[in-house]
Every structure is written in structure tokens, then in C-alpha cells.
Amino acid sequence: MPAVKFNKKYLNSLLRFKISDADLKDRISELGLEVEDITADEIMIEFNTARPDLLDPVGLARAIRYFLHKSDRFHYTIGNKKPELTINVSKNVLKARPCIGGVVAKGIRFDSVSLQQMMVFADKFCDTFGRKRKKIAIGMHDLDSIASKELSYSACTDERFVPLNSKEPENFSSILKNSKKGIEYGNAIEDEGKLGYPALKDSEGVLALIPIINSDRTKVTTATKNMFVDVTGISDYAVEKSVDLLSAMLMDMGADVLPVAVASGSKKKIYPVMEQRFISISPEDLTKELGVAFDYRGAISLANKMGYEAALLRGKIRFSVPEYRLDIINEQDIIEDIAIAYGYDYIQPMELPYYQPGSLEQVTIRNRSLENALIGMGCTQVMNSYLTNESINYEKMNIKVETGERVALANSVNSSISMVRTWLLPSLMLNLGRSGHAKMPHKLFELDMAFTVKSGKPVEQYHLAAAISDPKANLNDIKAVIEELMYLNGVKYSFAKYSHKSFIEGRCGSIKANGKAIGFFGELHPVVLSSFGIEEPVSAFEINLDAFTSQASV
Amino acid sequence: MHSYEEKVLLVLEKKASASLEHLIEGTKLGKDQVIWALDGLRQKGFAELHYDEKEEAVLTDEGKVYAADGLPEEQLLKRLGKKQMHTSGIHEKTDQIGLQWLRRKGLVDIENGSIKANSMGLAVMKEGFPEARALKEIAEGTGLAKIRGRYKGAVELLEKRGLASIEKSTGISHIEITQKGREAAHAEGEGRNEIGAVDRNMIVHMGWKGKNFSPYNVEEPVERAITAKMHVLQQTIEEIKDAYSSMGFREISGPTIEPSFWVFDSLFMPQDHPARDKQDTFYLSNPKEIEIEEKGYVGEIKAVHERAWRHSWELDKAKQAVLRTHTTSVSARFIHQAIGKLLSKESKERLPIKAFSVGRMFRNENVDYKHLADFYQHDGIIIGKDLTLANLFDTLIKLYGRLGIKLKFKPSYFPFV
């Protein structure tokens, strides 16, 4: 989630009461936002909430005023005013970007700060909740520069218009290809214009290439008195709620908000919708969920703190969901708000009324016992990333890349990460290569997972690998560790000759438990050592623990 | 006094005058150690060193090799034994030299290129070459005079062959103890009865009785030992597991590689949520998709998504294989299974259920010194009736209390809680 910068003076003017920085910070934090910094002019907020209505100073000031019981205007209605504009949606745009809504605000008074904050809000909103404008995009226009009361929204051919902050007309296709916004948001247009370019027009021509950029002709400035805002997207509900949110915001800014009609085929819809929604919860249910005793008066007061109008109705509290709240899905969301209003600090922790024995998984118990055994034998545990690349997992180990058997990543942003490791020894080789300066002998082990793909399905297994590096170390030192491990776990084992390219031919063996191969050991080939920058001989083993455990009798 | 010096002094005290060899024999120390001790004794004025001109045999590089491996003719003769060998089989330089000397010494007969040891050769095979023995003794540091006495002409022969040279040097002829040294030896007093390293024999047979243990230097630092350790991250993981299990939670685990369904969809994360973006999540190219076995559950999840998020839910997106971005997928699977068990009459599963998992999860991020693309998370879950937020707070405070961490709660937002 983004960090946003609010102008402090602007926020204070919207609050309409005096508040110290410290108090302001506390109130914002109690609402569930993180204040990163307050300076003389700005408040930096780490935005981590489902509530886009708090993403600008207007909405935040509204929420703080409710929180401190300084406001009881709970409803944002528009009444029976006549639509100021009509948008005619043509059929050909329904595949490209079907949904549009809008609202008109008259008598708005922007200064440079309030205008800039609204622009920032629109951008952040479209980036996050609007999924980089794919789901929601907002366009703001100077109403007085729009030539007609009837607008059209359609999928157009590659037309020309003068985009925002530009003097020269430009083609849609060129804007998509060459402009910053075009490159950033171009993929919000289905099939890059093959279904036509969605555009909003008045009688004089293009108002906006949607959802990329508006025309310069209807640019909003501090001189703008009357404004038209369009909202487009791919979900009717999201468009509707976004228009509601914007309308509430414009009303709070003192504008006279007027509806916009959208005609699509035979259907006509008036925006903003401002639908009244009610959710009822009994005070007992609140108590049951939160562990705090509520009477209905207390609950209603807490509801008011969060901007809900609430009333007792047939034994339940009926919460009226504010029109600008996009995030309320069901009663759980309201219960959460009540907890926030009550204050997490005031909720008394309550012990669970029951106790039962806990337990660890067998695999944890097994791993602990093996780890203890290896540490007892003087091996230090290492833990490495599961993520690796073909060079480390295969090539540096002197073996061929097995593309079919490895779990491969499709979209790593990291050039050194392309697959999930299939075994642990390469990780230990990396560790040894980096610790040449440390006192010898180096005795390392790792007990963790390795991954392969078998018949199209991922296979996750625990492995155990250990390596000894020392000028005097030889194969018997590592064999001694294996023998002790087998003995400790009551495994009947034997060694057999084995050939593995990572090891010196003739100095490598397989480990069999009850005749079943569970791993291998050997002296690493100098080619492998050199590729990891290791300068002393290394002997090592790796076993598949799941195979090992199935043979263990202890 | 150093223990070497003490040993040398005690031997010297008995003999009044001794050669270097005597001291080596008497002290059971090495030559270098004795010379080092003598230097110390001389500086302290406990011993007087007398020198004379001395001849010493020194091996050349080639000589050193043969001292270890045997003379070339010795090696070849050994290989030959009673068999026959053809001259065409002689390739190695050493073998060529060996053959030359065997011929020169008349130990082999050669007929039509076939080499065979004669009676003299067979005798030498048994007795060995005197030069070879002399060579070994030079290497072992036996005095030149002794070697010359034992193997007549051998040293000269080695010199001719360029395997050894005679070097004249000034060496210690004998060592005398001084009066001061005698006093020091007495002052050590119980020196003769002092015990250095304790051995098994001494313990079993009580050989230490009536003797003193010589003191060790306890102030001098020595090199640190190497500790084998558990990884600190593993320690933390085990602490967390113990904290959970001691609070009545049972450990659970689940796949690291999952279809998106268990990581996102079953946790109510809408299919267009930014956290599912390619930038944050590792998607896989092998395998690309993983089948979701719980077909009925898929239907339920689809219905919930379409109702709440008001957009169509695609099975293909749910099948996409990912490295889990959190361990809550383990909890999601567990809740689903637990509910199945609770509804089944055969199962012994009863409410309340407390479970936890600790595991690795992945974020598609750039790796640097403070960010890894894989790290650990733990998940706790309680399924029961009438559970409250106050119960959750209490559980978290106790869990973290066991790990020594104090908590403060703040409202925040997470898509699936």
C-alpha cells in the first residue's frame, strides 16, 4: 500500500477545530493508519487499510470529526435534482471497457493545495483500488469548457486530439506508444486498441482517451468553478461506489453536487446512486465477537464514531452504511469498526476458557533429534535459501541441467533466482566457498527441504546434507558421521560403489538402508571445488530423510 | 625453566659431560628440541657448549627421493624378482637408470633383450644394497662415522652418484654442566619426581604417589575451540514451536508449492488483488498448474467470491502454481479439513481446535543484505465457539510473552482477516 503526503494546513482547515500534532497522530493511528512523520507542513501516512475514503485529506478529516463526535451529518444524498449531463454509451465500447458513471460539482473553490491533493487522491485511488486504472479510472474536466450537455462514450478508431498539458494534437495510438501515461497504463485498454479506443466526446470532439489521458481543452485549474468527473471501469458496482465516494468528497468540499445520466441501449441510470444500505447486528453478537460488554446505547455511540448512523430496531442495532464506504461487505466489517471505535487499548485480554495438550509433528521431533546428533558430532547448522539457479544447482556441481525435474520460476525479478533447489549440497558448497578464511576444519550440515517435479506434480522432501572441509579431512571423516547417524537411528545400512559427476570417480559411494538407496557420499571433485572458490578438500554426503525415516527403527 | 631445559639439565647432571647424541637418547627429545634447550641453558649459564669441526653427509634432492622410494636398481630388482622382463618394457627414466646399475653391478643377465636376475642378483635381493641402507641412515640422521663403519665405501659411492655430499661444519662435540647448572638441577629438587603429562599407566598403578605434578602455565592464552551450533534462526523457530505447543496448539504443516487456490482464493483474496500481481508472487513455469483436489470446495469458494467481489471467478487462475506467499495457506487447508472432520460422524475431532504452523514463504523481491526472497512466518489458529477478539489478544500476549516480546495492538488491514 502507498504512503501518502497530506498538506497539514489543508487538513486542519477541513477539521475545523484545533488539534496538536501529537493528538492528530494518535487519532489517525486509532483509525488504523500509520503516521510515518509529521513536519511543519506535511503529514506522511503509511496507507494500510481497506478504506480508500481515508486516502485524501477531505475523507480523513471527515473520519476524525466523526471519531471525536464533532459531526453528525451521516448521509450524503442528492435528492431529486435533474441530471446536468447525459452520457450516451455506444454498444461498441461494451467489450473494451463497458462501465461509465459521473458526477457534476458546481461552485467548487480550488486553491493550488486542494486541487493538487485531489489529483494525488485520484492517482493513488486508481493505482490501488483501481488496479492501475484497469478496474477504475477517474477523469476530471472543467464543466464550462465542455461544449454540449450530451456526451458520447464509444470505442473509436485511431483519432487525434490535444492531450492534457500539450499544444499539439496527437493520435491515440501514438499517445499509447510514446507518452508516459500511455506506457504506464496502456495495458488497461483491452487488446491495445484492437477493440477500438475507448473515448469520451462532446459535440466538439474528444474529451478523453480512456483510461489514459484527458484533453487539454477541459483541463481543471484553480480557476475552475464547475467540474465534471467521469469514472470508468469494468465493474458496474465498483464504478457506482467510486462515484458515490467522489460525490461525498465534493459535497464536503462545499460544492453543489448534481447528477449525471448514463444511457446505455434502453437502460438509463442516474449517478451518483447513493444507495441506502442497512446491516443489523444485535448488541449480544457484538459482545460475543469482541469479548466486550455493550448495551445498545454504547454500541450506537461507537457506531457514530465511525460514521454510521445507527438505531435500535426490534432488538438489533441497525447500522446505516455510509455511501462512501467501498469496503463494507457484511456485518464482520462493521464489528471490526466497532472494535476500532472502542479502542484496541481498552479491550481487556480474556483467557480462553479451556486448555488442551499441544503437540509437535513427528517430522519436527525427528529433525530435532538429527540436528542434535549432528551438532554433537561437531557439525554446525547452516540454513540457506530454497531459491537458486541452474548454474549453482547443476553446472557448478559438474552435472547436467535437468529441466524436467526442477521446479522453475516463471517471473523472478532476480536474475540469480530461477528455480527451487533440488538438493542441498550446492548450498553447502556456497557456504564453504565463502568461509575459506575461517578456522578449519569446517564441518557444516543443513537439514531442510529440496524440491523436484515428478509427473507434473511438485515433490517436497526433507534432505540432510553435511560437508567437511579441512586440509587433513578425507572420505572416512564423513563416512564416520553417516555410520553414527545410521547407528543412532537403528538403520541397517551398507555402502556401495557409486558414480556421480560431482565427486571424484572411485571416491564416491551410495548409502543403502535395508538395501534401499537413500543417499550418497564422496569426495568432491576439484572441478566442483574450484567453481565455488573452495581451496581445501571437501567430503560430503546427502540423504533423503523421508526415505531414511521409513527405514529407521528408533 | 622450560621442561625441555629441565630434562636436558637432569641428564647432563648425571654425566658431567655428554655428547648431543647422549642427550637425545637420555631425554627422549628430538634433536631440535635438545639444541633449543641447550641454547637456553647456555644463556642461563647452566651449561658450556664445546664445538669441533665435523663432517656430515647431506642428501641431494634426488637422494631424498631414493631414500624414500628405494634406489632405482633396488626398485627394479624387486619388481623383476625371479621372473623375466623384456628391455622393451623399460620406459620410465628411473627404470632405465636402475637397469644401467644392475648391469654395471653384474646382478642381471641380458639375452636377446630378456632381463633375468643372476645368482648374485638373487643374493642381493635377499640382503639388500649397502648403499641403499647407507642412504636411509643418512636420511634418518645417523652419524657419518657410524655409517662409514657399517657400510664400507657406500658413502663414497653415493657421493659419486650425486645422491649425497659430504659437508664440513662446526658442530657441538660435547656439553659440560657448569657449577651454576648443577645447583639449578639440585634446586629443581624434586625435579626427578615431578610429573608432566599424566598417563593411564600412572593412574592405574598409582605411579603419581610421592611425586609432584609439575605446574603448567595457566596464564598463557591458547587457540579457541570451535563450537558446533544450531543455526540461530532454527533456534528461534524451535522456541516458537515450543511456545505454541506449550499453549495447547498442535503443529500442522502443508505444501510449499501450491495452486493459487490455497494461497489466495480460499483466503478470500479477489482474483484481481494487487498482491497476486506478478511483481509480488513467484509463479512457476514448471509445473505451471496444480490440480485442486477439493472439487466441491472450489465451487463454494467460487460462489463466495462472485457474490462478494462481484466479478466472475476463473478456475484457471486458481490453478496457477505458486510458491506460497504466506503460510496461511497451511491454515486454510487445515480449516477446510477440520470442518470436514467435525461434520463427519466417524472422526474424533471436536471443538475447540488449536493449531499452528511455522514455515517458509516467498516474495518475488530483489535480494540484498536486509531482504531475502524467502523467509519464515508462523500461523496460529483456534477454531471454537464464542471466541472473541479479547481471547485473541490474550493468546497473542501470552505467546509473545513466552518469547520475551511485549505487544501493543493497533487496528490495521489484511485482506483475509
Partner-chain contact A361 B253, CB within 8 Å = yes
Backbone angles phi, psi at A540, to 5 degrees: -155, 160
Give the closest residue to A255 by CA, choosing from A64, A84, A101, A100: A84
- For residues B361 and B374, the answer to whether their CB atoms sit within 8 Å is yes
Rounded Cα–Cα distance for residues A90 and A202 (Å): 14
- pLDDT tens digits for A469-488? 998 888 999 999 999 999 99
Across the interface, of A350, A416, A458, the residue whose CB is closest to B257 is A458
Last residue of a domain, one of A67, A93, A119: A67
What is the overall mean pLDDT for chain B? 88
Partner-chain contact B372 A31, CB within 8 Å = no
User: Residue A47: what pLDDT?
Assistant: 80
Rounded Cα–Cα distance for residues B336 and B352 (Å): 15
Count of structural domains within chain A: 4
Q: How many CB pairs under 8 A join A and B?
A: 200
Domain enclosing residue B88, as ranges: 74-99+106-124
Tell me the mean pLDDT in the region B308-337: 94
Tell me the mean pLDDT in the region B155-168: 86
B245/B366 same-domain check: yes
Partner-chain contact A407 B286, CB within 8 Å = yes
Whether A354 maps to a domain, the answer reads no
Backbone angles phi, psi at B179, to 5 degrees: -60, -40
Residue B189 has pLDDT above 70, yes or no: no
A283/A247 same-domain check: no
- pLDDT tens digits for A63-88? 999 999 998 888 898 888 999 999 99
- For residues A234 and A126, the answer to whether their CB atoms sit within 8 Å is no
A218/A189 same-domain check: yes
A340/A427 same-domain check: no
Reduced to 3 states (helix: H, G, I; strand: E, B; else coil), residue A198 is strand
B187/B330 same-domain check: no
Reduced to 3 states (helix: H, G, I; strand: E, B; else coil), residue B380 is strand
Partner-chain contact A407 B389, CB within 8 Å = no
Q: Distance, in angstroms, between A493 CA and closest chain B CA?
A: 26
User: Residue A1: what pLDDT?
Assistant: 55
Rounded Cα–Cα distance for residues A176 and A193 (Å): 9
Contacts of A449 in chain B (CB under 8 A): 256, 360
Contacts of B288 in chain A (CB under 8 A): 410
- For residues A201 and A226, the answer to whether their CB atoms sit within 8 Å is no
Reduced to 3 states (helix: H, G, I; strand: E, B; else coil), residue B413 is coil
Count of structural domains within chain B: 3
How many CA atoms lie less than 13 Å away from B245 in the CB half-sphere?
16
User: Residue A190: what pLDDT?
Assistant: 65
Rounded Cα–Cα distance for residues A293 and A290 (Å): 8
Partner-chain contact A449 B256, CB within 8 Å = yes
Residue B190 has pLDDT above 80, yes or no: no
Contacts of B231 in chain A (CB under 8 A): 380-383
User: Residue B195: what pLDDT?
Assistant: 79
B82/B22 same-domain check: no
A47/A150 same-domain check: no
Partner-chain contact A387 B394, CB within 8 Å = no
Tell me the mean pLDDT in the region A500-517: 94
User: Residue A249: what pLDDT?
Assistant: 96
User: Residue B191: what pLDDT?
Assistant: 52
Cell triple for A285:
453478537
Contacts of A357 in chain B (CB under 8 A): 248
Nearest CA in chain A to B255: A460
Nearest CA in chain B to A26: B410
- ipTM score for this prediction: 0.88
B274/B317 same-domain check: yes
Rounded Cα–Cα distance for residues A122 and A250 (Å): 13
Reduced to 3 states (helix: H, G, I; strand: E, B; else coil), residue A32 is coil
Nearest CA in chain A to B230: A381
Q: Distance, in angstroms, between A109 CA and closest chain B CA?
A: 34
User: Residue B274: what pLDDT?
Assistant: 78
Contacts of B393 in chain A (CB under 8 A): 344, 347, 349-350
Partner-chain contact B411 A344, CB within 8 Å = yes
Domain enclosing residue A472, as ranges: 362-551
Last residue of a domain, one of A271, A292, A312: A271
Whether A461 maps to a domain, the answer reads yes
Q: What is the pTM of this model?
A: 0.75
- For residues A27 and A44, the answer to whether their CB atoms sit within 8 Å is no
Whether B263 maps to a domain, the answer reads yes
B95/B194 same-domain check: no
- The 3-state secondary structure of A244-303 reads HHHHHHHHHCCCEEEEEEEEECCEEEEECCCCCEEEEECHHHHHHHHCCCCCHHHHHHHH
Q: Distance, in angstroms, between A162 CA and closest chain B CA?
A: 32
Rounded Cα–Cα distance for residues B281 and B325 (Å): 7
Partner-chain contact B282 A352, CB within 8 Å = no
Whether B346 maps to a domain, the answer reads yes
Which CATH number do you get for residue A167?
3.50.40.10
- For residues A462 and A367, the answer to whether their CB atoms sit within 8 Å is yes
Rounded Cα–Cα distance for residues A308 and A292 (Å): 20
A414/A498 same-domain check: yes
Whether B264 maps to a domain, the answer reads yes
- Residues β-bridged to residue A85: A260
Whether A73 maps to a domain, the answer reads no
- Choice between B304 and B35, residue whose per-residue pLDDT is larger: B304
Beta-strand relationship, A150-156 and A85-89: parallel
Greatest mean pLDDT among A393-397, B5-9, B61-65 lies in A393-397
Nearest CA in chain B to A455: B287
Contacts of B282 in chain A (CB under 8 A): 409-412
Give the closest residue to A542 by CA, choosing from A474, A488, A472, A461: A461
Rounded Cα–Cα distance for residues B281 and A270 (Å): 40
Q: Which residues contact A134 (CB under 8 A, 6 or more apart)?
A: A187, A188, A211, A234, B272
Whether B133 maps to a domain, the answer reads no
Partner-chain contact A456 B287, CB within 8 Å = yes
Across the interface, of A379, A404, A413, the residue whose CB is closest to B366 is A413
User: Residue A554: what pLDDT?
Assistant: 47
Rounded Cα–Cα distance for residues A102 and B311 (Å): 21
- For residues A47 and A88, the answer to whether their CB atoms sit within 8 Å is no
Partner-chain contact B228 A377, CB within 8 Å = yes
Residue A3 has pLDDT above 70, yes or no: yes
A338/A473 same-domain check: no
Give the closest residue to A122 by CA, choosing from A217, A242, A259: A242
Greatest mean pLDDT among A279-283, B54-58, B123-127, B161-165 lies in A279-283
| Range B120-128 contact pairs with CB under 8 angstroms and sequence separation of 24 or more | B121/B77, B122/B82, B124/B77, B125/B77, B125/B78, B125/B81, B128/B74
- For residues A331 and A308, the answer to whether their CB atoms sit within 8 Å is no
Rounded Cα–Cα distance for residues B290 and B293 (Å): 9
Nearest CA in chain B to A285: B386
